[in-house]
Structure formats: structure tokens, C-alpha cells
Amino acid sequence: MTASRSIELVAEFGHQVTGISVSEDNRIFVNFPRWTEDTEVSVAELVDGQPRPYPDEEWNAWRNAKKDEITPEDHFVCVQSIVADGRSSLWVLDAAAPAQAHMVSGGPKLVRVELATNTVSQVIPFDEDLAPQGSYLNDVRFSPDGKYAYITDSGVKGALLVVDIGASKAVRVLDGDPSTQMKKGLNVTADGKVLRRPDGRGVEFSADGIELSKDGTYLYWQAIKGEDLYRIPTEALLGAGLRGEDVSGQVEPYGKNGVCDGLLFDRGTDVMYLTSPQDDSVKRRDLAQGPDAPVELVVHDDRLRWPDTFSQGPDGTIYVTTSHIQDSAFFKPDAPPALPTQLWKLV
């Protein structure tokens, strides 16, 4: 495959970045999960290329060492994803599981920040029925009318969460369904070698990447430790799903993406962009061609060390973070806790 695009550096960070989101007025936000270090900033806005705590320093004041002194309900504990909804809000998804380990009680939540005032206007907490120990809330998308959110849980037992934003309530669906689980026997590689921790564990992420079709009628997702893309009609999630009924019969396999992390529909099209961490690349599939749509290479670059999350700016520019997971202390014990990472844009 021949690459059609290249990348340009937007910003460099001294911490491990995952999420990126660009608002409708072109403000850029990033987040730093507490994976292998107790980072000083969880959510930041890029101002003159530098991360500034957002919405303020107090929401970013959590420290693992001071967990008995700071309330997790109104502080960012371990933020995995941020999404500007195009409706004047930035949403922050807090998995609240530092080091991807024990989840801090009272910490899992979805936080709404008003971009006009830079203030928190809503906090939707997730109790242990929605996010049991072992969960890791990973990414989120919003219905076109802004009334509902869909979240992937990439923890040891994958699932989806469907959130009624107005009611500040949620349900857990497809819990343990094959579509939300890791693929047994699959090894995730990097630099041509199977990624393993010192204790022998490999990459163990269930339902992770998530995306919504341009008209909001289908929700798509897949596990990192997986190759298959799945989808379900959102009508099923907002009907039977919110009523607590089984919706597994409406899940549809939708072809193979290969191992990937982030998903993004190019705005207004059926072209889905894929981050491909095994080979330092970004790829795409035109799902207008159906589930047999082939995977096409967009850009391959050795600097794309674990391309992680996408966002698209109002001018159509596609941004992608590189979280360097294969270089982290999870897999390289001698790696520095504070891992340098980057934000790129496709050109």
C-alpha cells in the first residue's frame, strides 16, 4: 500500500498523552492519564502550544499520594478521554483507575465543561453496577441531538455504557458479549515483537475505539486486542438497551480493521480512519462499500509511536496523538515514568 499523506508536529509533551479534541471554535484540548506516573495535569488546553490545566488547577489537583485528602467526585483522577461535542461543551471521561489498576471509589464519571465560561456544569457519576472493579472507561461519543452518550469499557470484562445525559443516568450493555471482549490467542506486537509486561501479560484491552455514523444511526467499536469492527443500531441501545434488555442479537460484525486503537469518521462521510499501533501508521476504510471495505494506508511514519486518538478540527484537519504505549514502563521497566509523547496533524 502507498501512503497518501504525511504528518506534521503540533505539540510535544513531557507526559503520556492519550486524548485529543478540537472544539468548534478551534480550541485544542488534550489529556494525560495516570498510567506510569502521577502526572501534574489531567486535562489541558493548548495555549501557544503549551498545556494549561483545564478548566482550572483545582479540578487537576488530584494526586495519588494525597488520595485520602482529595475527593474523587469533583477532581480528575485518571482521565482517559476528552470530547468536544460541537455544542459548546467539552466532556471529560474519568476512568479513575490509576496505572489501569484499582479503581478509586467515587471516581468514575463523565464531566461536562462549558467552553464559554470554562466551568463544570454537570457531573454524571458511574457506580460499581455501571463500572465494577476491573473496568476502564475508555472513550465516548455523543448522539447528534446531544441527549445521549455512548462509552466503551476496555477493562478485563468489556462492555458499553449508554448514558441519558438529561437524567444523569446510564445502563451497562453487552457486558461480556463477544463483540466487546479481547480476542483470545491474539498477540499485539510493536517493533516486530510481541508486547509483554515483565510478568508475561500482553496487551489486554477490550472494547476501546468507538465511533458514531454521520447520521447517528449506528454505533461502531472494537477491542484493541482484536481485529474485528462491530456495530449496532443506536435505536436498539436507546430503546431496549436503556430498558435493561438484551441487545446482543442486534450486534453486527462489520469487517476487519486489524489491531487498532482510535476510530474517526471523516466528517460528513463514511470513511473511517484507524490508528494502527502495530506498524506506526494511520489507515482508513470506506464503509460505504459495506463490511468488505478494504483497509487502505494513509500514512506510515516511525514517529507514530502507538498512534492513539483522533480528533477533527472545524477546518477538516485530522489530529492524532502518539501515546508511546510500547515505550512505557508497563512494557519497559527501565523507561522513565514521565514519557515524552506528541500531538500530530495529517497534512
The pLDDT tens digits of the residues spanning 158-202 come to 999 999 999 999 999 999 999 999 999 999 999 999 999 999 999
Q: Judge whether 36 and 337 are in contact, CB under 8 Å.
A: yes
Give me the pLDDT at residue 88, please.
97
pTM of the model: 0.97
Q: Which amino acid is at 242?
A: L
pLDDT at 68: 87
E strands of 224-302, at which residues? 228-233, 252-256, 263-265, 271-276, 281-286, 296-300
CA distances from 72 to 43, 96, 127, 272 (A): 15, 8, 13, 35
pLDDT of residue 4: 87
Residue 83 pLDDT? 98
Identify which of 134, 133, 136, 131 has the alpha carbon closest to the alpha carbon of residue 154: 136
- All structural domains of the chain: 7-346 (2.120.10.30)
pLDDT at 309: 98
| Cell numbers describing residue 65 | 499520594
| Nearest Cα residue to 258 out of 271, 272, 241, 277 | 277
Looking at residue 2, its pLDDT comes to 81
Q: Which three cell numbers stand for residue 80?
A: 482517559
Q: Cell 470513511 sits at which residue?
A: 271
pLDDT value of position 66: 87
Sequence letter at residue 217: T
List per-residue pLDDT tens for the chain, 347 residues long: 688 899 999 999 999 999 999 999 999 999 999 999 999 999 999 999 999 999 999 999 999 998 889 999 999 999 999 999 999 999 999 999 999 999 999 999 999 999 999 999 999 999 999 999 999 999 999 999 999 999 999 999 999 999 999 999 999 999 999 999 999 999 999 999 999 999 999 999 999 999 999 999 999 999 999 999 999 999 999 999 999 999 999 999 999 999 999 999 999 899 999 999 999 999 999 999 999 999 999 999 999 999 999 999 999 999 999 999 999 999 999 998 889 999 999 99
